Structure 1
Amino acid sequence: MNSRQRRSACRASLYKPGTSWVFRGKRLTVTHVVSPTEVRVEWQDGARTYVSTRVLDASGQRA
């Protein structure tokens, strides 16, 4: 995937910075799109981590 395709995929993604999701009963907010398949999130308790978008697709619900 070249850089143009990557930017296009990130813009078309559901996982934009500031969107909230509920994952396994806890709320998280997307803070940064790392790649089309990975995002950096902040949990409701303040912890930050990287999450695969496949995991959110399978188990998460948009809040």
Structure 2
Amino acid sequence: MRAGFATVAEHYDQLLRSMQALGPEVGILPSDIGQPTDPDWGPSALLRYGDERFLKHEQSVIDQLLLKLP
């Protein structure tokens, strides 16, 4: 189970990094995207400590980006 959570968090981290690279080109500010997981904590900390408001905001930004991609 722990490995599964780590995999999900790693994919989320990669997604945030991709969004930070692509977002400004389609009008999404880097400050709206958020930060990848803290390297001192590791990606699993996102799943353990991420709160519902944070995750909903990130989902909203992901949706904005996906709508603007060709």
**Normalised by the size of structure 2, how large is the TM-score?**
0.38
Structure number with bigger Rg? 2
Of structures 1 and 2, the one with the larger relative CO (CA 8 A, separation 6+) is 2
| Structure ranking higher in strand proportion | 1
